[in-house]
């Protein structure tokens, strides 16, 4: 099974699978840790033990390397969505939100570095073709949550004194926080889900859903 890409050279595509994977892994690691601009090609080749010229035979330039990695990220996301979630208008809204949270958590659990790269793109304003890249991602938010939220509201599962924009804002915010907390816990307010087993994790998500549904009031 050949690797799918629109930007890597044929030389790279014909590389031994093992070497290929090592290169991808190291590029992902470096871009995840440093973002686009701060990422160092010298560091990448040093860690791989290959010459810089070699890397530049595989990819035209730094921007292409980044885009290649991003391509892989998009592919993984799409695969995860296909496998993990099936939109079902009839199911309870909060059950569906729950499913989305679990799918998203599974993704960042499996591919934390790829998720970090996504965060880097969100945060770094001078990433090449940033707008275009982000437009490709709007997964949990627009393509997914948008329709889900609108449907839920029309079906009366959501109080009608809450605007759709606000619903999306809060849900998206909570999920984002959940994922970021998973890969990069802050000292102050962490659920530490990444330290838990599957069962506790499920319990944590349950609690969040409960809050979203019924609020904090005692």
Query: Where on the chain is the footprint of DNA (CB under 7 A)?
Result: 10-11, 14-15, 19, 39-43, 50-54, 56-57, 60-63
Pick from a second copy, DNA, none: which does 165 bind, CB < 5 to 8 A by kind? a second copy
Instruction: Classify the C-alpha dihedral 143-144-150-154 as positive or negative.
Output: positive
CB atoms within 10 A of CB 114: 21
Residues 6+ apart with CB under 8 A from 128: 36, 63, 66, 67
Stretch that binds a second copy, among 45-53, 77-85, 99-107, 207-215 (CB under 8 A): 207-215
Closer Cβ to a second copy, 108 or 191, answer by number: 191
The whole-angstrom separation of Cα 184 and Cα 111 is: 13
| Near a second copy by CB under 8 A: residue from 168, 183, 194, 202 | 168
Answer for which of 14, 189, 197, 198 binds a second copy (CB under 8 A) is: 189
CB contact at 8 A, 97 and 151: no
Cβ 55 vs Cβ 41: under 8 Å = yes
From the list DNA, a second copy, none, partner contacted by residue 6 (C-beta under 5 to 8 A by kind): none
We find the least distance from the C-beta atom of residue 32 to DNA, in angstroms, to be: 14
Applying CB under 8 A, among 141, 151, 194, 202 the residue interacting with a second copy is 141
**Cβ(103)–Cβ(45) under 8 Å?**
no
> Both tokens of residue 63?
């921007």
Give residue 70's Cα distance to chain centre: 11
The CA-CA-CA angle for residues 144, 146, 148, to 5°, reads 70
Asked if 170 touches a second copy (CB under 8 A), the answer is: yes
Name the residues that contact a second copy, by CB under 8 A: 33, 37-38, 94, 119, 122-123, 125, 134, 138, 141-142, 145, 153, 156-163, 165-170, 172-174, 176-178, 181, 186-191, 204, 207-208, 210-218
């Amino acid at each position: 099974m050949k690797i799918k890409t629109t930007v890597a050279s044929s030389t790279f595509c014909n590389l031994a699978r093992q070497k290929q994977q090592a290169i991808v892994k190291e590029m992902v690691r470096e871009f995840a840790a440093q973002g686009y601009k701060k990422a160092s090609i010298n560091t990448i080749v040093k860690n791989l033990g290959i010459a810089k010229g070699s890397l530049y035979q595989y990819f035209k330039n730094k921007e292409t390397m980044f885009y290649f990695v991003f391509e892989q990220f998009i592919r993984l996301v799409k695969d995860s969505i296909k496998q993990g979630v099936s939109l079902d208008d009839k199911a309870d809204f909060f059950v569906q939100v729950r499913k989305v949270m679990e799918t998203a958590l599974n993704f960042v659990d499996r591919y934390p570095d790829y998720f970090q790269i996504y965060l880097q793109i969100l945060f770094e304003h001078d990433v090449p073709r940033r707008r275009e890249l982000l437009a490709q991602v709007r997964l949990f938010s627009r393509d997914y949550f948008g329709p889900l939220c609108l449907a839920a509201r029309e079906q009366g599962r959501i109080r009608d004194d809450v605007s759709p924009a606000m619903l999306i804002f809060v849900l998206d915010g909570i999920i984002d926080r959940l994922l970021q907390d998973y890969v990069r816990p802050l000292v102050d307010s962490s659920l530490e889900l990444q330290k838990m087993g599957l069962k506790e994790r499920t319990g944590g998500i349950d609690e969040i859903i409960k809050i979203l549904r019924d609020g904090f009031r005692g």
